[in-house]
Structure 1
Amino acid sequence: MSAGGGLNRRTLLRGATGLAVAGGLAGVADLARAAATDRSNTTGQLRIGYLPITDASPLLIAHDAGLYDPAVVSQAKPVLFRSWASLAEAFVSRQVDVVHLLMPMAVQLRYSVGSSARILGWNHTNGSALTVAPHVTELGQLAGEQVAIPFWWSIHNIAIQQLFRANGLRPVIRQSASRSAGTVELIVMSPSDMVPALAAGSIAAFTVADPFNAAAEARKIGRIHRFVGDVWRDHACCALLVHADLIDRAPAGVQTLTDSVLAAQLRIDGGRQATAGELSAGKYLPQPLPAITKALTYPADKYDLRHPGWQPQRLGFQPFPFPSFTQALVEAMHDTVVDGDTGFLDRVDAAAVHGELVDDRFVRQSITRHGGPAAFGLPETLTRTEEVDPT
């Protein structure tokens, strides 16, 4: 793949630096050095990049089940990354061509970094939680503590701050939390480091995608206090991203890619236990099989759910990117505290973002090919009203 699409080396350098500052996960010099080195995929086949979380399941199962067209997508195993910053940098610098990426981060790439990223659809809904240390029995006990998030521009950071504010807590960054002042210090941490940090007592809680929440419960070093889906109904954490020039150059290939991902989503939903085994046996996810299985099959009756009708514990696999969510997400980003640049949001029209960032032509066609909206539990109108309740 070429490094075209309007991104030159200078843009990549600026983008990598922005990701390092906003993500807090890698050094600026390291990211800048990587972006300055041409690592573009030149194989002629699309390479998949992912984080080892259950949110990536459709991309991984599509590979495991041989659903990708070998003329379009590389048959090599998808490339595993340990942090969102490293995955985003690899995507921006064209080391990988197809990724599942945090929705707010995709907004950042488009409007702050200047990336040509385009969202084809959602990879999943729900699938994240706030996990607390065993001694924490109510949210107020997090005052004066550190809580880890996976990235500043993540639905986790947005939702956890909504939850904190609604319950009398104030999130702070780069300053020690105070119990008397009711503040909670947020820190960015790689998902793979969160469970050990909770076990060591260096943080009191973390919010992240599964199976890290399930893994903490399995090891009895933490418990799920609230599913993020119990705060924002059927929210999208990760979206399916490609570069705009791929869409322009090879629309048939993009359609084939989208068809494969949707076929994998249906396959997962029809056999979650089997999916857990495939993700584990295929060594796509390094977490223990029981944690992966639990993340895909949480029993509702084991948790105190504020909105049981939302099924917030259920990791969903519906692909349609609702415009209402994109707009509400961008509006929520304005109210979110981050350690990094937020000035780009002043130049963004929340109502226009969906049309500029999302290209849903391919997912609409794929939904039709795979049985229509009902096959994915979607409304026939493909519209919805956002439901958010952080109380």
Structure 2
Amino acid sequence: MTGRIKAAYMLAPMVMDLADAGIPIKIVALGHRSGAVVMVRNDFAGDNFGNLKGKRVAIPSRFAVDYLFVRKLMKKYGVTEKDIELVEMNPPDMPAALYAKSVDAYATGEPFGAVAQKAGYARPLHMTRDAWPNYICCVLTVRDELIKSDRAQVQRLVDYVLSAGRWLDAAAQNRLHAIRVAARPAFFNQDPEILRFVMENPADRVTYGDLKLVRAEFDELVQLSLEAGTLKRAVAYEKYVDESFARNSKPAKISLPQ
């Protein structure tokens, strides 16, 4: 907000809200597709969100698209806000909370669903790959002053982001190579075996090959955010999105350190 950082990955509804408040930022590319789950313990007898009535469900925050995912599932399975208790919780704390039975389920982005699943005490109840195939969450966001002062730099950034996404989905060995780099303390500082589990179980649990901006998908997010109360009013697409960089993108060579 202060302008100290010129580009960042942010939650899409938060970008909409900030842009509506006058913060000069634009979404220029997606970060990924799918990648959110609702996790329950293995001993949970239900097979859909409707069976969570009377239960405690953790979400990251009201601005998280995972919360909107929960609301879509609530609507589909006839669950009202009075039927469940929603609690906000940091995603890294969710697996332990589920194990300790402090919550009955949690909705989050990966790898925090895979942590509990790989440990053997939890399973996915719903995955966005099945329940919301065009799910989008993290988006590459750039301040307007950088767009105005150095369009070429922003274009290079988008070129590499889109090319890296295609490269990731092109071959399993590319994903393994990326895991070795991303797991390092200088980056995400995650257990590489957890990241590998996310990338392989199943292979389309999170996808990166199609990071184009689709207006209808953002319109759906706006509508869901209005219904959830995280947006006070509809935000014009052009106010928070700049499609020009994705439209003009050219392939970039992806080369990662060993």
Deviation, structure 1 residue 275: 1.6
Q: After TM superposition, where is structure 1 displaced by more than 3 Å over at least 4 residues in a row?
A: none
Partner deviation per Cα, 1:128-169 (whole Å, 9 max, x = no partner):
111112222323442222211112122211121111222121
Letter in 1 for 2:187: Y
Alignment of 1:282-321 (within 5 A): 283-299=186-202, 313-321=205-213
Question: Normalising by structure 1, what TM-score?
Answer: 0.59
Partner of 1:322: 214
State the alpha-carbon separation in 1 of the partners of residues 69 and 247 from structure 2. 28
SS in structure 1 of the partner of residue 183 of structure 2: helix
State the alpha-carbon separation in 1 of the partners of residues 4 and 130 from structure 2. 36
Deviation, structure 1 residue 122: 0.8
Q: CA RMSD in A?
A: 2.0
Structure 1 pair 251/289, CA: closer, same or farther in 2 (3 Å)?
same
Letter in 2 for 1:287: Q
Partner deviation per Cα, 1:226-246 (whole Å, 9 max, x = no partner):
112322222211110011111
Letter in 2 for 1:171: E
State the alpha-carbon separation in 2 of the partners of residues 286 and 221 from structure 1. 23
Deviation, structure 1 residue 282: 5.4
State the alpha-carbon separation in 2 of the partners of residues 137 and 284 from structure 1. 38
Structure with the largest fraction of strand: 2
Alignment of 1:6-45 (within 5 A): none
SS in structure 1 of the partner of residue 81 of structure 2: strand
Question: What is the count of residue pairs matched by the alignment?
Answer: 247
State the alpha-carbon separation in 1 of the partners of residues 97 and 68 from structure 2. 22
Q: Percent identity among equivalent residues? A: 25
Partner of 1:200: 100
Partner of 2:71: 161
Letter in 2 for 1:144: G
Partner of 1:109: 18
Q: Which of 226, 234, 238 is matched with 1:355 structurally? A: 238
State the alpha-carbon separation in 2 of the partners of residues 325 and 280 from structure 1. 30
Contact 1:124 1:316 in 2 (8 A): yes
> Where does the alignment leave 5 or more consecutive residues of structure 2 unmatched?
253-258
Contact 2:3 2:143 in 1 (8 A): no
Contact 1:297 1:314 in 2 (8 A): no
Matched, 1:100 2:9: yes
> Where does the alignment leave 5 or more consecutive residues of structure 1 unmatched?
1-91, 173-182, 301-310, 372-391
SS in structure 2 of the partner of residue 262 of structure 1: helix
Letter in 1 for 2:89: M
State the alpha-carbon separation in 2 of the partners of residues 210 and 169 from structure 1. 24
State the alpha-carbon separation in 2 of the partners of residues 208 and 141 from structure 1. 19
Question: Normalising by structure 2, what TM-score?
Answer: 0.88
Letter in 2 for 1:158: L
Matched, 1:259 2:193: no
Contact 2:166 2:208 in 1 (8 A): no
Structure 1 pair 257/316, CA: closer, same or farther in 2 (3 Å)?
closer
SS in structure 2 of the partner of residue 170 of structure 1: coil
